[in-house]
Structure 1
Amino acid sequence: MGSGCGGRLAGHPGAASSALPPCRYALQRAGSRAKGGTMHFRPCLHGLIAGAALFAGAAAADDRIENIVSTASRTELPAARVGSAFSVVDRALIERRQAVLASDLLQDLPGVAVSRLGGPGSQTQLRLRGAEANHVLVLIDGMPVNDPAAADEFSFEQFTSWDLERIELIRGPQSALWGSDAMAGAINFITRRDGAAPLSAAGFAEGGSFDSRRAGLRAGGGRGRFSGTASLSWFETDGENIARQGDERDGYENLTLGLHTAFEVSEQLALELTARHTDASADFDDTFATGLPTDADLVTDTRYWYLQGAAELALQDGRWRQRLTAHWLDSERKNRDAGRLTDRSDGERSGLRYQSSWALGKAPDRYQLTAAIDYEKEEFAQAFPGNPFLSAADQRQSRNSTGLVAELQAQPLPGLDLNGSLRHDLNSDFKDKTTLRLTAAWRPDAGATRLHASYGTGMKKPTFTELFGFFPASFVGNPDLKPEESSGFDIGIDQRFFDDRLRADLTWFYAELENEIQTVFLPGFRSSVVNGDGRSRRQGIELELQARLTPALQATASYTYTEASEPDASGRRQREIRRPRHMAAVNLDYGFAGDRGDLNLNLSYTGDQLDRDFSRFPSPLVTLDDYLLVNLAASYALGERWSVYARAENLLDEDYENVFGYRNPGRAFYAGIRAGFGQR
């Protein structure tokens, strides 16, 4: 993981180099709400800093990191010129961590807090810098995938890591670039592209605790102007009991298919097609009787379809670039009780994006102007089939918006990069809104130091459920809601030490939220939502470290302090729930046996946090204890094509909850085998 000028450290463990890569890779175009101790982890961070200084005498080399794809701009931008705070998880770390779900990789990045209702397949929410779970835009290969039928959140619980190339995280308001969902930041999942070789293929199979089975296949290749990659992953587990009582195991199954093709029509025109499908089934517990999970024969079946097509035209020797993109998301969610369908919800999100970028002046890399039009339509439907008492809650809704975007990139002086974006959204159901974003990056000493700062405003449209309700007898919608609005800024320094063997990025951030949509209780045990008075505030510090301690041992670490508060009914400020003040992570990776073996140790600390006890009225605040997760992964290559691997998760067998009443899995062990040929 990394921010600023790096993802994971360049070079393979055991290589002769111990230097960090310089800032020479590029950032390219990205193509249910819950308001939510002692810092035991601090010695680990202190030890990492001391260790980096101790081993700083290792030999240097000229390693490089390959280009990355990100949402930091609407057009290509070298990473050293980015003023926003960002982090990267690259393929090497993804493979060596052996994490099944992408959310397990994200939780170690600065500013990220993950809440999960139990084990694999359970609803998973991600909060960035203390913001709400639906304030973060999620992209897959540049395609927006927040689900209108899931409170505009992304289903992190359904996204496995098998075909991931890298993850890009941009922190701070990005609405001026990407619209409503990007009020607190954006995440882009970039999938594998195996079209460089004529033919390549890879696969794996593993098994382990909780009767878990997992397998995957991937094949790709290129010939002439055509390239393509197809992937398949399957994951099934009997799970573990997530409730505090009972003994029913909550299982999960996931099948995901992916496809990417590209065709160069000419030197000026290129076409791309991306498709993805997920079919999943998850057991879950009942909360109706007690407010806490209890054993029940309940299942949620979920299906997602994602499709995106793009065409890019480069004219005037590449100085004028145009891109047209069409995207479509379709979601289907069915809940069953003892096999009987009780309710279903469907979401659809489709859109067109056109943008045109011009390189200005005699130095095309110094000034660039981009204009874009983003059109999007969202649809939502819910139904309670076979139950006439609930038919009043059946509904079908839709809305659309058009965003007009202008962005200017400028380098008025060597080492000084400025970026300004302005967006005006025309909304079918709300007043039109304008958002802006300003960033600056300054490298006063030719790259060893990067000062970065950003300011932005954002807005988030109410969800369909907030507007139109779920069921009149329990939750009533409010069609008079206004969009939430925010403003935020950050400032930081990215510094390299010891001939690039140690890099540290320290950032301070502050944000305010107005018109926050809050829950209110109505007579008859009903609830609704209103725009709250006052402002919610989120501020804190993010620290990210990278170090190559020896030629074979490298380390990354992160620490986040977050203070998130909102006014209560009396106007006093209160801490928001599910926002830990302290979060930290350390990852150590050691290569041995001439690069044939790898050992990866990951420690992830989450401080105590507030939550609500929904088993009592009126849901009093409770404190969830802090916890430390220790994961260990190892792999060994048996030859050029075969390797074996194993991992231990929650090695200390921590008994912990990050949502009150929902237990997470205990200690687990897994082992598997990989095979591949023709891989990059």
Structure 2
Amino acid sequence: MNSKILLCGAAVVALSFGTPAIAQEDAEAAEERVQDYTPIITSPTRRQDIVVSASRAEDLLYPENYTGSVTVITEDQVDQRQTRDIADVLRDVPSVAVSSVAGQTQIRLRGTEANHVLVLVDGIEVSDPNSGEFDIGTLQAEIGSRLEVLRGPQSALYGNDAIAGVVAYNSASGRNVRGFSALIEGGTNSTFNGAARYGASGANWDAALNATVVSTDGEPNARGGTRDIGRDSYTISGKGSVEVADGFELRAVARYVETEGEFNDQDFGFGSPTVGLVIDSPGNEFENKAFYALVGARFEALDGAWTHDLSAQIADINRSTVAPAGFPSDTESDRFKASYVSAFDFGGSDHTLTFAADYEIEGFNNILTFDDRREIENVGFVGEYSYSGERFDFAAALRHDINDRFQDATTFRVGAGFDVSDTTRLRAAIGTGVKNPTFSELFGFFDGVFVGNPDLQPEESTSWEIGVDQRFADGAVTVSLTYFDAELENEIFTAFPAPTFIQTPGNRTTDSTQRGVEVAVAAQLGGGFSFNGAYSFVDAEEDGVEEVRRPDHLASAVLNWEAPNDAFSANLAVRYNGEAIDSDFTTGAFPAPVTTLDDYVLVNFNARVKLTEGINAFGRVENLLDEEYEPVLTFVAPGRTALIGIEARF
């Protein structure tokens, strides 16, 4: 356990000693804290169920009014599943595939690439411009946090990066969760996790501060290896808002994340007895640092019917590796984005018209390769119309992007939903998406190993879906069924052209397709039991050939039970990842053929017992069956782990 963990632990303890006085001053606020539990698909009763990311207007859109496919994982569900890494709970979302190696955890949505998913954290775009994707393994669940996952193209709202959908993570505000909360836990592999949070609010302001620590010595991730692959991750975040005048609000968000750990190399020495295998690589280490911030102002006119929102956000991301026998790296990426959104609600008519303008500039510098900052600038304009009636909902968005490096792009999305009866809803949507080449694809990464291609063209997608939501048992059970179909043009792939066979990206001339079926179930079973289930069949192919690391079948089932008065609770999560193919470098052949990754089942179980008012003890076992599996070929995943801890909320 290093000094950073000790310092974070000391900070939590120091904050704890100050808690009684703070709690006494804010006792009334603590009593008002929301504590009830809801399923993923809910009735519109609480603000935490609103889908904020589905509209640039940020109006009151509930899951059952959305015209596409959305999953909302509430703060209560994150808490029930004792989620520490957000990547884990994303396995409970239809069509989300998770694969992880040390230093990089990827999510693929509906069979697309990892850099086709836009990730928003408290409204901030957090992807690394270098790779165009976000390492979801660095996102730790804070107390009171929640998730929204929009499936299907959202480029008409957000432009580049949202070609497959949006994952929006939101920490709790000072109004949503007030008072002091903290937890600490430890277990196998010298694992230590901690989190602390304080939230407060007044008549015209709110503020929240979070701190999390995730640390483990880890396990070997090489077949037959002995070197433990550990990591330490620290997050400090804060957010707040103040209404400085009637109808005029200022807000701010800031987040700092630092992750460091070990990793192993994959042996690419052709002719070596371990060719293609992950091998113990002493001295290999990585360090990722990221700072994100957003400031905004919101003004309401015409008694709140016409809103204006102006915001600016930054992302500063630094990633470095030390590899004595491999290829070290050191990159700097940054993003500045300014947005203006104007939304007019035609009072009483359920019509909303929105205009948005975005200015974005991304920068990248590969210090060890070219040490010369590269930039890409983009301006986007959005028009959005929505109608929400008693039985019919309609939404349409059109976006035009002007890019200084690529051709201009126009994307759209149209969706409609109709309540056939009080228990049956039909919905359909169609949209297009765009994904610009990343900096590493354009300019390269390692000299002599991966050479960029400055002539790459953006990837473009057209997708449609139809779905039905059916309620049973007076709304206690909801089943959602969706069919989707997408076609991707200009897919970027890695080629090995002769005579040097050095890796370089290119655009495919053939089309890629992603088709599938999604099923989601949410049920309140009575007696304190609730259930959430998901199943997906995804067929992702490029010119008729199956794409790597896209399992055909994904499923999850989560059963939760709570005793009266929250005296005891237990949660069982079963997650299935079907067979997939991956490139097999162990054959020594070039280019590498593909082989099958075995399917696997992950079972997690946790329980919580109330010791006294506001204080609980808990424990959990992850990978209960000690399943042996490889999310990426020859990268061995961790086995069974067990943890116990204590939490306090005042």
CA contact (8 A) 1:350 1:378 kept: yes
CA distance in 1, matches of 2:515, 2:561: 35
SS of match in other structure, 2:88: helix
Unaligned runs of at least 5 residues, structure 2: 1-33, 270-274
Query: Is 2:43 the counterpart of 1:23?
Result: yes
CA contact (8 A) 1:278 1:304 kept: yes
CA distance in 2, matches of 1:642, 1:593: 16
Letter in 1 for 2:556: A
Q: Corresponding residue for 2:61?
A: 78
Query: Is 2:147 the counterpart of 1:157?
Result: no
Letter in 1 for 2:605: L
Letter in 2 for 1:279: E
CA distance in 2, matches of 1:252, 1:205: 17
CA distance in 1, matches of 2:121, 2:155: 18
CA contact (8 A) 1:600 1:633 kept: yes
SS of match in other structure, 1:207: strand
Q: Corresponding residue for 2:458?
A: 483
Q: Following TM superposition, by how much is the alpha carbon of 1:166 offset from its aligned partner in structure 2, in angstroms? A: 0.7
Q: Following TM superposition, by how much is the alpha carbon of 1:196 offset from its aligned partner in structure 2, in angstroms? A: 6.1
Q: Corresponding residue for 1:595?
A: 566
Which structure 2 residues correspond to residues 25-424 of structure 1 after superposition, within 5 A? 25=45, 66-75=48-57, 76-79=59-62, 80-117=64-101, 122-149=103-130, 151-195=131-175, 200-288=179-267, 289=269, 290-296=275-281, 297-337=283-323, 342-360=328-346, 363-364=348-349, 366-384=350-368, 393-411=370-388, 414-424=390-400
Q: Following TM superposition, by how much is the alpha carbon of 1:66 offset from its aligned partner in structure 2, in angstroms? A: 4.4
CA distance in 1, matches of 2:631, 2:560: 27
Q: Following TM superposition, by how much is the alpha carbon of 1:165 offset from its aligned partner in structure 2, in angstroms? A: 1.9
CA contact (8 A) 1:196 1:221 kept: no
SS of match in other structure, 1:160: coil
SS of match in other structure, 2:465: strand
CA distance in 1, matches of 2:121, 2:438: 21
CA distance in 2, matches of 1:214, 1:506: 37
Q: Following TM superposition, by how much is the alpha carbon of 1:65 offset from its aligned partner in structure 2, in angstroms? A: 7.4
Alignment equivalent of 2:631, drawn from 658, 667, 670: 658
Q: Following TM superposition, by how much is the alpha carbon of 1:593 offset from its aligned partner in structure 2, in angstroms? A: 5.2
Query: Is 2:472 the counterpart of 1:472?
Result: no
Q: CA 1:263–1:255 in structure 2 vs 1: closer, same or farther (change >3 Å)?
A: same
Unaligned runs of at least 5 residues, structure 1: 1-9, 26-63, 385-390, 568-572
CA distance in 2, matches of 1:459, 1:363: 36
Q: What's the TM-score, normalizing by structure 1?
A: 0.86
Q: Following TM superposition, by how much is the alpha carbon of 1:540 offset from its aligned partner in structure 2, in angstroms? A: 0.5
Letter in 2 for 1:450: R
Show CA shifts across 1:628-675 (max 9, x none).
Answer: 111001001111121100000111110001110101110111000001
CA distance in 2, matches of 1:172, 1:463: 21
Alignment equivalent of 1:643, drawn from 602, 616, 625: 616
CA distance in 1, matches of 2:479, 2:640: 33
CA distance in 2, matches of 1:331, 1:526: 28
Letter in 1 for 2:312: A
Q: CA 1:441–1:77 in structure 2 vs 1: closer, same or farther (change >3 Å)?
A: farther
CA distance in 2, matches of 1:19, 1:608: 29
CA contact (8 A) 2:132 2:161 kept: yes
Could you say which structure has the greater relative contact order, defined with CA pairs below 8 angstroms and 6 or more residues apart?
Answer: 1
CA distance in 1, matches of 2:175, 2:477: 34
CA contact (8 A) 2:174 2:207 kept: yes
After TM superposition, the runs of 4+ consecutive aligned structure 1 residues lying more than 6 A away are: 18-21
RMSD between aligned residues: 2.0
Q: How many residues align?
A: 605
Q: Following TM superposition, by how much is the alpha carbon of 1:396 offset from its aligned partner in structure 2, in angstroms? A: 2.1
CA contact (8 A) 2:40 2:74 kept: no
CA contact (8 A) 2:143 2:181 kept: no
CA contact (8 A) 1:474 1:525 kept: no
SS of match in other structure, 1:638: strand
CA contact (8 A) 1:194 1:220 kept: yes
Q: Corresponding residue for 1:537?
A: 513
Q: Corresponding residue for 2:489?
A: 514
CA distance in 2, matches of 1:340, 1:494: 52
Q: CA 1:577–1:424 in structure 2 vs 1: closer, same or farther (change >3 Å)?
A: same
Letter in 2 for 1:552: G
Alignment equivalent of 2:406, drawn from 430, 446, 456: 430
CA distance in 1, matches of 2:41, 2:99: 33
Q: CA 1:657–1:368 in structure 2 vs 1: closer, same or farther (change >3 Å)?
A: same
Alignment equivalent of 1:460, drawn from 435, 440, 448: 435
Show CA shifts across 1:555-610 (max 9, x none).
Answer: 1100000001012xxxxx11111111111000000112542110000000011110
CA contact (8 A) 1:20 1:502 kept: no
SS of match in other structure, 1:106: helix
CA contact (8 A) 2:48 2:74 kept: no
Q: What's the TM-score, normalizing by structure 2?
A: 0.90
CA distance in 2, matches of 1:340, 1:515: 32
